Structure 1
Amino acid sequence: MQMDIAEAKAKLSQLVAAAERGEEVVLARAGQPVVRLVPAVPARPRFRFGVAAGEVKHVPDFLEPMPDDARALWD
């Protein structure tokens, strides 16, 4: 979002909130971009459930004891 500095004075709290949400906020003078408003501390990415759905394969015998011949390789 781009806004003229004169208008931004009246809406500063809204612009700060928008920048905190990750929106790009640019302040302009006479229609020319002058500064970009960014958060002082980057927002932590939110955990998204299901982002790795289908990526992890279930191994049914994972917790079963190893066969003797395979275990012998580790001894």
Structure 2
Amino acid sequence: MSQIVNVHEAKTHLSRLLELAHQGEEIIVAKAGKPYARLVPLAAEAPQRRPGRLAGRVDDAFFAPLPDAELDAWEGVR
């Protein structure tokens, strides 16, 4: 559920409003009674990819063509 606050209240209680936003609540800042901005929590950062982390775990057999029976199973052929 979102909470609507005016600009003056937002300036006065910014720390508290930021904490509420961090906890997942949406805060709408209104100017002259009209919605003007929204405080929402930031999305979690995606983990960094690490190239080469499977080095030595995947051999050439992984890249070998699949047998016809398995290809048929993937394609839904009976």
TM-score (normalizing by structure 2): 0.50
Cα deviations across residues 8-53 of structure 1 (Å, max 9, x unaligned)? Answer: 101000100010111010000011000001223x25xxxxxxxxxx
Match in the other structure for 1:17: 19
Distance 2:26 2:39 in 1: 7
- Root-mean-square deviation (CA, aligned residues, Å) is 1.7
Q: How far apart are the structure 1 equivalents of 2:27 and 2:13?
A: 12
Aligned residue runs from structure 1 range 33-48, under 5 A: 33-40=35-42, 42=43
Q: Matched residues in 2 for 1:26 and 1:18: separation?
A: 12
- How far apart in 1 are the matches of 2:25 and 2:13? 15
How many angstroms apart in 2 are the aligned matches of 1:6 and 1:17? Answer: 18
- Higher helix content, 1 or 2: 2
**Other-structure match for 1:30:** 32
Cα distance in structure 2, aligned partners of 1:22 and 1:39? 6
Structure 1 residue runs of 4 or more that deviate by more than 4 Å after TM superposition = none
Equivalences, count = 43
Unaligned stretches of 5+ residues in structure 2: 45-78
Residue 8 (structure 1) aligned with residue 15 (structure 2):
no
